[in-house]
Amino acid sequence: MQVSLYRLTFPSGFHLAPHELALDETLPTIPSDTLFSALVQAWIRAGGDPQAWLAPFTAGDPPFLLTSAFPWIREKVKENGQEKVREGPWFPKPLHLRPSPEWKEVPFLPEDVFFRLARGEPAGTPPAWPPSAEKPWAIEEIPRVSLDRVTLRSNLFYIARVHFREGCGLWFGVAWRDPERPCGRHTFRQAFALALEELATTGLGGDRGVGYGRFLWKLAAETTWPDPNPQGFGVLLSRFHPKKQELEALRDARAWRLVEVAGFAETAVGHVRRKRVRLVAEGSVLPARLQGDLADLTPNAFGAHRIWRYGLAFLYPWEVAHEA
């Protein structure tokens, strides 16, 4: 599969609550369902037709697949007695990968280690985490004050922000299936670039009014990854919502974990509380034949349009040789 890797740099960091109303917590990464929803909203703000974007996804014929956004890390390493700078994408550690106790505390794997293990090679010594003495990001609590409109009494609260070390940030991948398919007046590749540029300007996550969530982006690489064998397994690089007919196949998964997604959706008529849904988390090792779909989270009393949540599986082929 043809994959584009996009690198994101956040000068002011971002706030992305791991669950509803969690002001004092933030995720350091961006789940694929959040990223997809943000891109759709950016496409709308750029003047695009949301139905032109969403129709092929809801019909089960997506023009591209999307990963979650994972760490991009710059680190100093010594090679042949000389100090060099190495940077690149890090991948989620597969949930079943526990060949020794030392691997337990490693949440992400550098690109070379991930690809080596994906081929079924011995695990060996785990990579250091964090990869250097200075962590790739820090989470800090920023004080905020709200005022009661009637009494003018102040209320102190804190909002969490993730801030990245210089040279570090996030990356995500796009597996193109049909980039030249029309999306309104553009192709999907063009529409994606327009939406990403709009999202970079307006930002994603919470507290965007003070600059959080804005980012700089660049196309880091155009590469080819192997397609998963339908008879084999894959490690999940996105969140996943199984189709009804795929639920039975989850019994064959080697390792999987659920996350609950709730909160509000930005709609044409304002913010609406969407239905809750459970998605399979990144790092799960699933049968490669699973595809997933978009979950319909439209509240019963809401009739303006449907509210969708991205749940298509982005699977990287994985040789299941590293059992717990």
pLDDT of residue 20: 75
DSSP β-ladder status, 233-236 and 258-261: unpaired
User: By CB neighbour count within 10 A (0-12 exposed, 13-18 middle, 19+ buried), where does 209 fall?
Assistant: exposed
- Residue 216's pLDDT is 97
Average pLDDT over residues 171-180: 97
Complete DSSP assignment for 3-20: EEEEEEE-TT-BB--SST
pLDDT given for residue 210 in this prediction: 85
Residue 22 has a pLDDT of 79
Cα distance between residue 185 and residue 188, in whole Å: 10
Q: What is the pLDDT of residue 321?
A: 60
Share of the chain above pLDDT 90, in %: 69
Top-confidence range, 68-82, 184-198, 203-217:
184-198
Whether pLDDT at 162 is above 50: yes
Q: Is the pLDDT of residue 237 over 80?
A: yes
Q: What is the mean pLDDT of residues 174-196?
A: 96
CA distances 111 to 35, 108, 289, Å, are 22, 10, 24
With H, G, I as helix, E, B as strand and everything else as coil, classify residue 132.
Answer: coil
- The mean pLDDT value for 121-138 works out to 87
Bigger pLDDT: 44 or 133? 44
Per-residue pLDDT band for 324 (boundaries 50, 70, 90) equals very low
**What per-residue confidence (pLDDT) applies to 125?**
87
CA distances from 88 to 14, 67, 129, 172, 175 (A): 21, 16, 15, 12, 18
pLDDT category at 81 given cuts 50, 70, 90 is confident
Buried b (16+ CB within 10 A) or exposed e, 268-285: eeeebebbebebbbbbbb
Q: Is the pLDDT of residue 323 over 80?
A: no
**pLDDT tens digits, one per residue of 6-34:** 999 999 999 998 887 778 899 999 999 99
Average pLDDT for 305-312: 94
pLDDT, position 225: 96
User: In the predicted model, is pLDDT for residue 268 greater than 90?
Assistant: no
Q: How confident is the model at residue 145 (pLDDT cuts 50, 70, 90)?
A: confident
What does the mean pLDDT of the chain come to?
91
Which residue, among 288, 192, 274, has the nearest Cα to 240 in the 3D structure?
Answer: 288
**Lowest-pLDDT choice from 32-36, 213-217, 247-251:** 247-251
The CA distance from 267 to 271, in Å, is 6
Q: What's the rounded Cα separation, in Å, for the pair 304 and 307?
A: 9
What mean pLDDT comes out for the span 60-66? 97
